[in-house]
Amino acid sequence: QKEVEQNSGPLSVPEGAIASLNCTYSDRGSQSFFWYRQYSGKSPELIMSIYSNGDKEDGRFTAQLNKASQYVSLLIRDSQPSDSATYLCAQGPSGGGADGLTFGKGTHLIIQP
Amino acid sequence: DTAVSQTPKYLVTQMGNDKSIKCEQNLGHDTMYWYKQDSKKFLKIMFSYNNKELIINETVPNRFSPKSPDKAHLNLHINSLELGDSAVYFCASSKGNQPQHFGDGTRLSIL
């Protein structure tokens, strides 16, 4: 059974610092990985997608993928109070099939002003 | 324009009733999904569907059934509702293995 593991937190980071969120996954066949942000009472919102080993940067966000270690991370630079939310790591299906994403249980991030 | 829309937003009903949740996407995506998010906020796939196949998570009771009148719609029908069905149900859609876009969710409460 596919599993995605995340530390549930809460992870507390001072405003302006770098927040580092980590995730490991079990399905080596997966080709796609995603980070979603979810505010309380809202739906998941895509932050980053990554498909190949290495780093991918988008504004203040950097996703890192290491398929050999089955590890995905998300770095948030210059953290803002509005970044406080639950961050969900997800892996796509093996071989790009039609079955859905496997999510971790989420890391609750708190940015302290 | 809302990309993935679900109705109703809130659904309060009694045990034993049958209910449906509707989902529509206007993104031209080929695959649609239903997820359940429980009280501990764990988001879990229930179904995925494109015009070729329906994939069912084996843990989903057969009281739950997806119905797709066309590529832009995937409705969720639930028979004989139980207390444990209380959760937030999210519809999502994607094109291939591209990122999935989520609807706003339907908050189902069973009395």
pLDDT(A99) > 90: no
Mean pLDDT of B93-110: 93
Q: Do B48 and A100 touch (CB under 8 A)?
A: yes
B3-60 pLDDT, tens digit per residue, is 999 999 999 999 999 999 999 999 999 999 999 999 888 999 999 998 778 888 878 9
Question: Quick one: closest CA in B to A108, which residue?
Answer: B41
- At B58 the pLDDT is 79
In which band, very low, low, confident or very high, does the pLDDT at B2 lie, cut at 50, 70 and 90?
low
Chain A residue numbers touching B41 (CB-CB < 8 A): 38, 86, 105-106
Interface membership of B102 toward A (CB under 8 Å): yes
Q: Nearest by CB to B99, which of A34, A38, A102?
A: A34
Chain position carrying tokens 């093996």? A94
Residues on chain B touching A92 (C-beta within 8 angstroms)? 97
Tokens of B12: 């309060």
Which three-class secondary structure string do you get for chain A?
A: CCCEECCCCCEEEECCCCEEEEEEECCCCECCEEEEEECCCCCCEEEEEECCCEEEEECCEEEEEECCCCEEEEEECCCCHHHCEEEEEEECCECCCCCCCEECCCEEEEEEC
**Exposure of B10 in the CB half-sphere (CA atoms within 13 A):** 2
Measured between beta carbons, the chain A residues lying within 8 angstroms of B44 are 103
User: Average model confidence (pLDDT) for chain A?
Assistant: 94
d(CA A71, CA B76): 34
Q: Report pLDDT digits (tens) over A15-39.
A: 999 999 999 999 888 889 999 999 9
pLDDT on residue A39: 97
Structure confidence by residue, pLDDT tens digits, A77-97: 999 999 999 999 999 987 655
Q: Is B35 on the interface with A (CB under 8 A)?
A: yes
